[in-house]
């Protein structure tokens, strides 16, 4: 698949994930979709997110993993792509580290 088409698919799925999470979450925490990573064979896509407050991250991750099959159906209904990959969710630790660095640099 061309790199441009791959990026369009990832972008569409990230947007769908944001809409789905806004609709399905309990609003006890703010979950933000930050990135997506697709495997080379295009059969698996990991959606990365951050969560505020930080102490709700693990709860949010468990919630999102429970909702994988519902999210897959949502993507089937809303995103026009051929084959639907297996979805997984994970905390965006790179973004968390970037935020810590920004915080430290502001203090110096």
Unique residue bearing structure tokens 């991250």: 57
pLDDT, residue 35, reads 94
Helical ranges in 25-87 per DSSP H: 57-66, 68-78
What pLDDT sits at residue 1? 52
For residue 65, the enclosing domain spans 3-107
Phi, psi of 101 (to 5 degrees): -65, -45
Indicate whether 62 pLDDT > 70. Answer: yes
pLDDT at position 28, please?
Answer: 83
- Residue 60: give its domain's CATH number: 3.30.300.20
Q: Report the pLDDT averaged over residues 22-51.
A: 91
CA neighbor of 36 nearest in space, from 79, 66, 27, 100? 79
**pLDDT above 60: residue 97:** yes
The confidence score (pLDDT) of residue 15 equals 96
| Alpha carbon separation from 99 to 55, 59, 96 (Å, rounded) | 16, 21, 5
Domain total of the chain: 1
């Amino acid at each position: 698949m061309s790199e441009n088409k791959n990026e369009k698919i990832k972008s569409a799925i990230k947007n769908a994930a944001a809409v789905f999470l806004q609709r399905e979450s309990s609003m006890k925490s703010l979950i933000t979709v930050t990135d997506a990573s697709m495997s080379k064979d295009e059969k698996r896509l990991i959606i990365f997110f951050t969560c505020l407050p930080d102490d709700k991250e693990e709860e949010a991750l468990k919630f999102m993993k429970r909702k994988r099959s519902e999210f897959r159906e949502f993507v089937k209904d809303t995103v026009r792509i051929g084959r639907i990959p297996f979805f997984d969710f994970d905390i965006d630790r790179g973004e968390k580290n970037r935020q810590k660095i920004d915080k430290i640099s502001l203090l110096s």
